[in-house]
Chains A and B, each alone.
Chain A
Amino acid sequence: MSGVDPTALLGEPVPPVPVQTSRPIARRDPATVMRLSRLGAFHQSRLSFMRILTRRMHRERWTFSRMVFAVDASGVGHAVYTVRTPQRSYSLVAFLHDLPDEQRSDRVIAEAWDATFTLFDGVPEAGDIARLSNNVPLQEAGRLEATELSLARANRSVRLWEHVIASLAAGEQPSREQIDAVGYLMRTTAVYGSGKFGAADRERVADREELAAPFQVEMLTVYLIRTCVRDLAEHLARSRGGATSVPLAPDIARSIGIGNSTGLGMAPFILNHPVLFNNWISVREEAIARVRNLEAIEADRLAHFRRMLARSMVCATRWQSSHPVQQAKIDTLRQDLVRLGDRLAVDGSLDQHPWDRLYRWAESTLGLEAQECIASLMLEPHPELVDELADAMACPGGGTARIDGGMPLCELSAILARVYGWALSVDWQDPAHCARAWYVSAEKQEPRLGERFEEPIEPFEQPLAPARDAARLHAALSSQAPDTPCAEFLLRHPEHRHTVRRLQVVAQAPYAEIRDNTIAADVLPIDMLRAKLSFFGATRFDPRSDRWVRICLYGNAPYPEELAEADADTWVYPPLPAGHA
């Protein structure tokens, strides 16, 4: 067992995000940024967790080896992939199965998968593998120990899997068109970290430089899963086709990412981790502000932006969704990016705050998808201003923040008015404004969103409606003397304790709180999922309903054997088709 920083168990103050002062252009107003419609249009950026990881892998020259690949001709067996960083080793342990089609489900309530995985802290011995083989394939029903850092599973894409294996077995490359249409051979349906099912708490690894940024354990797990899935597909093609079979062509292999199917669980996560969410957004906002404050830029910076824009357009062209809301957003994005290209043709000037002028033009002219895409793209030419901010994205304290009981209620009311002012004029009795309720189902303890007035769920409601709860607190405060300390109020009104704590946290963390109603009849939980997934670095966001989504991770990323020589940073933008400069 390892020790832990004792104060990590206690409530910690919000760590500051570095802010450059004395500059004319401020960070964007939280009231603008934290609307669900805008969060639901966020794009990946230099600060995405996948890119933070691949840049480090490249810079530190991590080495990778396939230690074990004991898989039979039907694809059943296990494999171990070990990565060595300058300080230590981590190993992906994979268990590969041959699942009948009728058992393949993306739901959390599924009980069997094509492949199951864990990221092991170090290099596992035979005894570890034996123990893991009895637990990892069971997922939630198994038990992990402190040496395991994550738990994941994946299912094959029925659309693509057989096509790729049959093609390779026959000595041909799979259809590029079919690969582009799906984007992945397997999709993960859960990647758990941070102490789930017995795995190590975040505190075990939080002080390791290579895992200090958020979700690095999960991002490394998925990176290694992608390699394992490619190897499995080639292995099955060889088993079937023998000497006739061929491996995937490198450029086709590289274009294949790992899919991910994400349900509602991510939405409560961002509401339940306000400081962490604040740090992600506040760092990106700081980066945007730094770039907008540049009075002039060099020509090669603008040229870099244009290249990334062109590649972004390829990404937007390939982005497909069957969801009508997302389809409309993609259509507008494509048109807006063309308008952006036209605008750059007219105004390519490098001074008078070029990025700020561009952003203001986008803000007044283009849709939210394009505004956020441009905000992320503007960061690309300026790694020296942006990348260092990644260090401030994590949240060190693990405990519940201590309430400052000495704060007078008038100060609490002022915070409430500043952050939740918009919520005070909402009629919270109106069913349209409180139609939904978040709850946890008895079945696998899965977070769900239900209809408050149609299902018997209200007694089980989770505290995921901060705006309504702030309005309730506001009503309770109206009869209190303004100089009463919080402590005295809470002694008689413990039912407001959760909200008082949240207000005090939010007061220090300007981008912690969503400025919208999370239980309205028309709330789209996929907006919350999109915001979180954009920080992972996900692309091809494809909502399948208002509450779950498929995405792609690591599409176009270099494989381990390519990392040393390849572009380990801007790979997320697909290469331009042949013939384009």
Chain B
Amino acid sequence: MSHSLNEIGGLCKRAARGAGLPWGLAEEAANAVRWLCAFDLPGPRLLADRLERFDGQPLGELTPLALDGPWRGGSGSLCPLITGATLSDWARPFEAQQRIELHDLRYPLLCCAFVADVAHALGRRIRIEWAGVSLSMDGGGLVVQGDRGHLDHDHAERVRCCLVPAGLPLQISSPRIRASVDPAAWARLAMFAERTYAPATEASRRLGAGGADDG
């Protein structure tokens, strides 16, 4: 069974919100997973891992402490969603710096859609690499090089993100608009999403949405 990207994005936004992320970051999480799914990468499973791993943990502890020099989280680890969002916000300084190093980044693959967004915004090619695998993107396609087995690692000690010369055209893989989502990951995300739904009461059923049963 395949899913539309719209369904995947909708579930991920609710799941991220259900796990306590503010709406603005939940939107980013949905975008990040949609993007990964379009390249047949395991976005939903990694998002479920991320939400379970840090469920209830204050976001501040997973946020980069300072943006000059290597980025590190307050508790030691970096959340890929807030780190990715910060990287996206920080596109111009990043362009001037040419490279950024991230320390102890959890679920680094979840960061990659943000990097693609920055590449698109700057009109530049960017490579992100960790543990023997690299992803290059220019806002359109994606090239994965190295050991793909490292793509879904739950953390990377050191992640390097740098601008690279445009050079030869990328042998890109193109995004798709359908994705197969691992049913177990879907169910785990759905459990988080459930937290955003108000339990129905008789009053809400009667008043909440309107509608009628007459002819």
What residues make up the interface of A, taking CB atoms closer than 8 Å to B?
A: 1-4, 6-7, 9-11, 101, 104-109, 143, 145-146, 155-159, 189, 194-204, 261, 263-265, 398-400, 402-403, 405-406, 439-443, 445-450, 455-457, 460, 463, 486-488, 490-492, 494-501, 544-548
Interchain CB contact under 8 A, A9 and B23: no
Is the C-beta of B171 less than 8 angstroms from some C-beta in chain A? no
CB proximity of B30 to chain A, nearest CB, Å: 7
Judge if B52 is at the interface, Cβ distance under 8 Å: no
B residues engaging A (CB < 8 A)? 1-7, 21-25, 27-28, 30-31, 34-35, 38, 59-60, 63-64, 67, 82, 85-86, 88-93, 113, 116-117, 120-121, 139-141, 174-178, 194, 196-201, 203-205, 207-215
The distance in angstroms between the C-alpha atoms of A446 and B93, with both chains bound, is: 43
**Which residues from A are CB-within-8-Å of B2?**
1, 145-146, 198
Identify the closest chain B residue to A487 (Cβ).
B89
B124 to nearest A CB, angstroms? 14
- List residues of chain A with CB within 8 A of the CB of B117: 10-11, 399, 402
| Contact (A158, B215) CB under 8 Å given A403-B88, A463-B23 | yes
| Contact A440:B197 (CB < 8 A) given known A7-B140, A10-B116, A463-B23 | yes
Query: Smallest Cβ distance from A422 to chain B, in angstroms?
Result: 23
Partner of B175, one of A3, A445, A488: A3
Closest chain-B Cβ to A496's Cβ sits at a distance in Å of 7
Residues of B within 8 A of A455 (CB): 198, 201, 203-204
Docked CA distance A163–B91 (Å): 66
Docked-complex contact B25 and A497, CB < 8 angstroms? yes
Q: A7-B140, A442-B200 are in contact. Are A198 and B4 (CB under 8 A)?
A: yes
Residues from chain B with a CB closer than 8 A to the CB of A546 are 210
Q: Check if B89 sits within 8 Å of A403, measured CB to CB.
A: yes
Let me know if A4 and B28 touch, CB within 8 A. no
Identify which of A106, A448, A494 contacts B213 (C-beta below 8 A). A106
Q: Tell me whether A106 and B175 are in contact (CB under 8 A).
A: no
Question: What chain B residues lie within 8 Å of A398 (beta carbons)?
Answer: 5
Q: Is the CB of B215 within 8 A of A143?
A: no
Given contacts A108-B211, A501-B27, contact A143 B1 (CB under 8 A): yes
Separation of A263 and B23 alpha carbons in the complex (Å):
24
Distance, CA A492 to CA B64, complexed state (A):
10
Nearest CB in chain B: distance from A219 CB, A: 19
Residue contact A107 to B209, C-beta cutoff 8 Å: yes
On whether the beta carbons of A1 and B196 are closer than 8 Å, the reply is: no
Query: Are the C-beta atoms of A4 and B176 separated by less than 8 Å?
Result: yes
A440 / chain B contacts, CB cutoff of 8 Å: 196-198
Asked whether A195 lies within 8 Å of B4 as measured between CB atoms, the reply is: yes
Chain A: minimal CB distance from B21 (Å): 8
B200, A196: Cβ atoms under 8 Å? Answer: no
Nearest to B205 among chain A residues (CB) is A443
Would you give 15 A-B contacts (Cβ < 8 Å), ordered by A? A4-B175, A6-B175, A107-B213, A146-B2, A146-B177, A200-B4, A201-B6, A263-B211, A264-B208, A405-B86, A405-B91, A450-B198, A494-B59, A497-B27, A546-B210
Docked-complex contact B213 and A105, CB < 8 angstroms: yes
Q: List 13 other contacts, CB 8 Å, given A197-B7, A403-B85, A457-B198.
A: A7-B139, A9-B175, A10-B31, A10-B139, A105-B212, A107-B213, A400-B30, A406-B93, A455-B201, A460-B198, A490-B85, A494-B22, A498-B27
Interchain CA distance A405-B1 in the complex, whole Å: 39
Cβ–Cβ contact B204 & A491, under 8 A? no
A9 near B35 with CB under 8 A, answer yes
Q: Does the CB pair B5–A203 fall under 8 Å?
A: yes
CB pair A487 B90 closer than 8 Å: yes
Chain A residue, CB-CB nearest to B201: A455
Within the complex, the shortest CB–CB distance from A98 to chain B, in Å, comes to 15
Residues of chain A within 8 A (CB-CB) of B93 are: 406
Asked whether A195 and B198 contact (CB < 8 A) given A104-B213, A448-B209, the answer is: no
Ranked 5 nearest A-B pairs via Cβ:
A497-B24, A158-B215, A405-B89, A195-B6, A548-B210
Residues from chain A with a CB closer than 8 A to the CB of B90 are: 405, 487
B4 A199 Cβ-Cβ under 8 A: yes
List of A residues within 8 angstroms of B34 by Cβ:
9, 399
A468 → chain B, closest Cβ, in Å?
13
Name the residue on A nearest B142 (C-beta).
A6
Q: Is A441's CB under 8 angstroms from B24's CB? A: no
Q: Are A194 and B89 in contact (CB under 8 A)?
A: no
Whether the Cβ atoms of A400 and B28 lie closer than 8 Å is yes
Q: A6-B141, A491-B63 are in contact. Are A195 and B1 (CB under 8 A)?
A: no
A497/B215 in contact, CB under 8 A: no
A258–chain B nearest beta-carbon distance, Å? 16
Q: By the criterion CB–CB under 8 Å, are A402 and B121 in contact?
A: yes
Contact between chains at B211 and A447 (CB < 8 Å):
no
Residue of B nearest to A158 (CB): B215
**Bound form: Cα–Cα A542–B148 in Å:** 58
CA–CA, A455 and B206, complex, Å: 13
**Most A CB within 10 A of own CB, among B1, B140, B196:** B196
A441 to B34, CA, bound (A): 24
Which residues on the A side are within 8 Å of B23 (C-beta)?
A: 463, 497-498
B5 contacts A106, C-beta separation under 8 Å? no
Known contacts A11-B117, A143-B1, A545-B210; decide if A6 and B197 are in contact (CB<8 Å): no
* Interchain CA distance A105-B210 in the complex, whole Å: 12
Give the complex CA separation of A374 and B196 in angstroms: 44
Collect the chain B residues with CB atoms within 8 Å of residue A145's CB.
2
On whether the beta carbons of A447 and B3 are closer than 8 Å, the reply is no
CB distance from A146 to the nearest CB of B (A): 5
Q: Which of A145, A264, A400, A441 has the most CB of B within 10 A?
A: A400
Cβ–Cβ < 8 Å partners of A105 in chain B: 211-213
Chain A residue numbers with a CB within 8 Å of B35 are 9-10, 399
B contact residues around A155 at 8 Å (CB): 215
Do A1 and B178 have beta carbons less than 8 Å apart?
yes
User: Which residue of chain A is the closest to B179 with respect to CB atoms?
Assistant: A1
**Which residues of chain B are near A487, meaning CB under 8 Å?**
86, 89-90
Smallest Cβ-Cβ distance to B91: which chain A residue: A405
Residues in B neighbouring A196, C-beta threshold 8 A: 4, 6-7
A194 to B4, CA, bound (A): 9
